[in-house]
Structure 1
Amino acid sequence: MQRPQISLPRTDGYEAEDAKQMLRQLVRTARAHRSERARLLAGARFAEHGLEAVSHARCVAAYVSQGNEPRSYELLEALHQRGVRVLLPVLGPGLARTWGVYTSAADLQVRAPGRPPEPGGEVLPAETISEADAVVAPALAIDAAGTRLGQGGGWYDRVLKHARPGTPVFGMVYGEELIRDVFLPVAEHDVPVDAVITPDHWFLLEGSVFQAQSLGEQAEALTPFADERTEP
């Protein structure tokens, strides 16, 4: 069952990082109410739609979910079984931006507290993402402009500069984390996503119903303020 959309406040007047931290806490609190069974069921549906979204790809850069993040294990295994090369983050010292290749869930190991499990085997440089035909990135929320609210480390935003130009970036979120009524705060290094994967479907942002509805709702919300400014 679709949950009600998460309501996020406007953050005008806040520094971008302060605003992001406030919004992250709101989304994390909402995610904490999702049961383990619901997360497992959603994982299978994320995999179904994720496979459709990247059906063209021979190499995909993705992520290993942890905690309440949209579950990625089923998608990783399905891609691997299809013969797709799957690149996963290997954080290393100081959150180094390196990669490893997925071989199985059993190969994924937690290397340090608080970090997601990582594949064993050869550690590949940041530039290896240039081999990817698509990127599947985690997100806490996504708005109509493609702004992705991440966990706060900036890992994906910084490593994406090594991706091939035009490589599509897919953000994976629950449906209620598609933010229609406000724009998320943006920092200089932020890289927008091109498309969204949810447990119900996947879609390109450009020209989507979500984008059109969001822009319409925000225009309506701003109209009273515009009228007030034009009054004598």
Structure 2
Amino acid sequence: MAHPTTPPASGLHAEALERKAALRRDLRARRRALDPASRERQMTAVADHLRRLVDAAGPRPRVAAYLPVGAEPDVRPVLEEVVRAGGTVVVPVCLPEWQLGWTEWTPETELVRSERAWVHEPSGERRGPEAVAAADLLLIPAQAIDAAGGRLGQGGGYYDRFLQRLHALGGPAPLAVVYEHEVLETGAFPTEPTDQPVDGVVTASGVHRFAL
């Protein structure tokens, strides 16, 4: 989910907000400039790791995942395999007040321009976090992840609000999917109390869990 309409500024002071904004600009540029051979190598490895996670969920898995936008890591090949194998995939849509809804997706699902973000979203019934609470696997996007599980998103706060609500429902552990260079040292970007960490990250080198 890329470049969402941003809610009013948070309590972070202006310097910290600009630091995050500058890092996002740099990371977006690095994604766009990533060598095609490196991108393909990384995505092939990521897909293999994701398949093992899906296989571990058993028959007819239920997967909640993002649809990539622009240069985001492309998880669609694995999602298509889940659907073809008889599993279920639900993906996010933007709702009012910077909330995320979820709708079922297949490769044939029509995509329509979002009214609230610069993305195309699946048409279909919008549901809340309960659509994800029973999922076997939850994959979310990120601009970067730090070594403590901190997540740098696009700045809209959609996923932070969603993860906070999902936690109350006892949903699956969120795993971010990023390129190798986007796993940064702890403290590489500022965080707020409202920023929700992830339980792990999937990169070409494997699935890495955090001790939260």
TM-score bracket for the superposition, by shorter chain length: 0.7 to 0.9
Report what 1:213 is aligned to: none
Give the 5 Å matches for 1:1-232.
Answer: 15-35=15-35, 38-57=38-57, 58-93=61-96, 95-104=98-107, 106-112=108-114, 115-163=118-166, 164-165=169-170, 167-180=172-185, 182-206=187-211
Show structure 2 runs of 5+ residues with no match. 1-12
Report what 1:7 is aligned to: none
Q: Secondary structure at the match of 2:92?
A: strand
TM-score by length of 1: 0.72
- Write the distance in 1 (CA, Å) between the matches of 2:51 and 2:89: 12
Q: Which runs of 4+ in 1 moved over 6 A?
A: none
CA, structure 1 residues 36+91, in 2 after alignment: closer, same or farther (shift >3 Å)?
farther
Q: Secondary structure at the match of 2:122?
A: coil
What per-residue deviation string (whole Å, max 9, x for no partner) do you get for residues 45-86 of structure 1? Answer: 322211223444432221000111111211211222333321
Q: Which structure would you say has the larger RCO, counting Cα contacts within 8 Å and 6 or more residues apart?
A: 2
- Write the distance in 2 (CA, Å) between the matches of 1:119 and 1:38: 29
What per-residue deviation string (whole Å, max 9, x for no partner) do you get for residues 147-199 of structure 1? Answer: 01111111111111232326211010111111136443112221111111112
**Alignment-mate amino acid for residue 149 of structure 1:** L
Shift of 1:92: 4.4
Task: Determine which structure has the larger strand proportion and give its number.
Answer: 2
Shift of 1:103: 1.3
**Alignment-mate amino acid for residue 75 of structure 1:** V
Shift of 1:39: 3.7
Please say which structure displays the higher CA radius of gyration: 1
Q: Secondary structure at the match of 2:140?
A: strand
**Alignment-mate amino acid for residue 165 of structure 1:** G
How many residues are paired up?
A: 194
TM-score by length of 2: 0.78
- Write the distance in 2 (CA, Å) between the matches of 1:178 and 1:48: 19
**Alignment-mate amino acid for residue 189 of structure 2:** L
RMSD in angstroms over aligned alpha carbons? 2.6
CA, structure 1 residues 158+118, in 2 after alignment: closer, same or farther (shift >3 Å)?
same
Task: Determine which structure has the larger helix proportion and give its number.
Answer: 1
- Write the distance in 2 (CA, Å) between the matches of 1:73 and 1:157: 23
- Write the distance in 2 (CA, Å) between the matches of 1:67 and 1:131: 29
CA contact (8 A) 2:141 2:153 kept: yes
Q: Secondary structure at the match of 1:69?
A: coil
CA, structure 1 residues 195+53, in 2 after alignment: closer, same or farther (shift >3 Å)?
farther
Identity %: 35
Q: Secondary structure at the match of 2:119?
A: coil
- Write the distance in 2 (CA, Å) between the matches of 1:64 and 1:146: 22
